[in-house]
Structure 1
């Protein structure tokens, strides 16, 4: 097995051998887990104890504040930050949910890409490097029907606020349905450009 920079940095051949032996053992213990959709992914995250379900929060800043506080509380102590699933959001019926912090742990990121959620951050990166080399794009297939098309709104039926779209930050210009994305905006009056994530 070739030595990477971590193994090469160890002082003695014995230490390098121990590291390589541990990695081989870890690889044998890992298993690939495949989840078909967000619902099964959430069920798996709940099964491994990394999902917190929270009811009754308000979409206007309260939801986002809780998500940020969870990140701060767990982020500095090496603990896995739980994924959050908000339901019964003020002004919305049960079942109109918002999820936050979905991939804020190496375990859930591993699960998302079909790898063992017990992997350490280091092992995740090593396995991902190998896995990404094997990825072969597949051609999209257009279908006339399917689960994605079961509920559809068109024209005047479309109302994004029928979903509990949060207002994430106090100075936001409104409620944003997109998160984990990059938004580039230009002020219409002075042309000033801002990038938000």
Structure 2
């Protein structure tokens, strides 16, 4: 019921829940579609589905905000939950646990199917016909360096020796109808794979996938360990292999239900200028950088393809909603593997996933005898400082699990009353993501800086902890019962 093999069945499920809004008037892919998507995201409206796109063949469509927060009352993470194969009612903690459990299962590699059974092979464009000109490539923000081919798709690449196939999300900008460029950062997995081809002086084969199984880009946003394959992880997550089909011009395999697949090769040198582009941190900086050049060799697509578009920027949007649970799950798995008692982890989405919150059970002292709160927090910081996922968040708060970290009211109350202004914190030097604006310019340049862990744990039960001043704790049980009974009678 919750397993959607392609973008179309996923959108149909959202539409049945009232979370899709058809836009039937003609809309331009140049800024207008992204502006509507951005507005929809900021106001938490249903996902816009553009049925009439200017400048392309009739039937070509665009889908905005495919994994942003949902408009369904009480279920803001519905799109994320459905993308990961859960019911739309799944909570933040349930989504994180689902992802953690899949990490411990046996990987389930993709299953190759015949080209005749792959919807993405309904149309095959080779040579001069393999042109971006026939597709609605969105210009997302007015000051972007160009239209962006990839805002919600995955780039598939493989190491030269074939040992590791990586599915990565990374932005890609159109240069002309046959060329693109995009971020290939050394610290990210795509950059690590590309570096091996660079060392050989050979272009890297690639496939860029738009649309298809909604879990593909959602999993592509998760910082799995180096060498782990997203396709096999998604199989374990869903309990079934992902159907894939071989590319036309290289030996990579792509999800068979994709809307559009762009094949080609990536130069072994950084000979193109990429950017600027407003990003997940919420700021529209004017930065550019030298990046490799993607050359297009072939394009395959479904009949009447749907092109997904994400208008990244100030949170919360698709840049945060799926990656927050994904990073949280990786951190939770690492901490539990280290034998540390942790209830759950969460990245507050409104903080652009720059914060990490870790909650621990009230009986953690029984599991770690002779360890005080500072010692426990230090152990957490040590484990996280050696983990790629653990260093993705500049600031971490360790709290008792009497609060729900995905509930902003709970979280703000806890942060405001339990975090010491200057004490009970420890910093850990190491690699950082080189585009977090909270860091100094020299830190961003070097890729190294500090992450901090705040010890915001309460005293032990019976050892100085006071009850919260809430309905359930500061009134007698019989009075509470009368109040609740009166409410029920009025209802």
Q: Give the TM-score normalised by the residue count of structure 1.
A: 0.69
1:97 aligns with 2:68: no
When residues 139 and 49 of structure 1 are mapped into structure 2, their CA distance, relative to the original with a 3 A threshold, is closer
Higher strand share: 2
Deviates more, 1:96-105 or 1:175-184: 175-184
Report Cα offsets for 1:118-175 as digits up to 9, x if no partner: 1122322233322343352315426343222121100011121211111111122322
Is 1:187–1:193's contact at 8 Å kept on the other side of the alignment? no
1:162 aligns with 2:134: yes
Q: Give 2:39's match in structure 1, choosing from 45, 69, 84.
A: 69
Is 2:40–2:47's contact at 8 Å kept on the other side of the alignment? no
1:175 aligns with: 147
1:193 aligns with 2:289: yes
**Partner SS for 1:40:** helix
2:183 aligns with: 184
Q: Give 1:149's match in structure 2, choosing from 121, 137, 160.
A: 121
Distance 1:169 1:187 in 2: 24
Unaligned ranges ≥5, structure 1: 1-31, 75-80
1:125 aligns with 2:96: yes
Unaligned ranges ≥5, structure 2: 70-76, 153-168, 171-181, 185-269, 274-287, 292-311, 313-318, 320-491
**Partner SS for 1:99:** strand
When residues 60 and 139 of structure 1 are mapped into structure 2, their CA distance, relative to the original with a 3 A threshold, is closer
Is 2:78–2:87's contact at 8 Å kept on the other side of the alignment? yes
Distance 2:48 2:81 in 1: 17
**Partner SS for 1:118:** coil
Q: Give 1:57's match in structure 2, choosing from 21, 27, 51.
A: 27
CA RMSD, Structure 1 to Structure 2 (Å)? 2.7
Is 2:22–2:49's contact at 8 Å kept on the other side of the alignment? yes
Report Cα offsets for 1:9-39 as digits up to 9, x if no partner: xxxxxxxxxxxxxxxxxxxxxxx61112111
1:111 aligns with: 82
Deviates more, 1:129-138 or 1:61-70: 129-138
Distance 2:122 2:46 in 1: 31
**Partner SS for 1:153:** strand
Distance 2:80 2:90 in 1: 10
Q: CA deviation at 1:65?
A: 1.0
Question: Which structure: larger Rg?
Answer: 2
Distance 2:86 2:65 in 1: 19
Q: Give 2:50's match in structure 1, choosing from 57, 75, 86.
A: 86
Distance 1:35 1:142 in 2: 17
Is 1:53–1:87's contact at 8 Å kept on the other side of the alignment? yes
Aligned residues: 158
Q: Give the TM-score normalised by the residue count of structure 2.
A: 0.30
1:134 aligns with: 105
Matches for 1:35-50 after TM superposition, within 5 Å = 35-50=4-19
When residues 163 and 188 of structure 1 are mapped into structure 2, their CA distance, relative to the original with a 3 A threshold, is closer
Distance 2:2 2:40 in 1: 26
Deviates more, 1:159-168 or 1:174-183: 174-183
Q: CA deviation at 1:49?
A: 1.1
Distance 2:135 2:272 in 1: 28
When residues 148 and 187 of structure 1 are mapped into structure 2, their CA distance, relative to the original with a 3 A threshold, is closer
Distance 1:112 1:156 in 2: 35
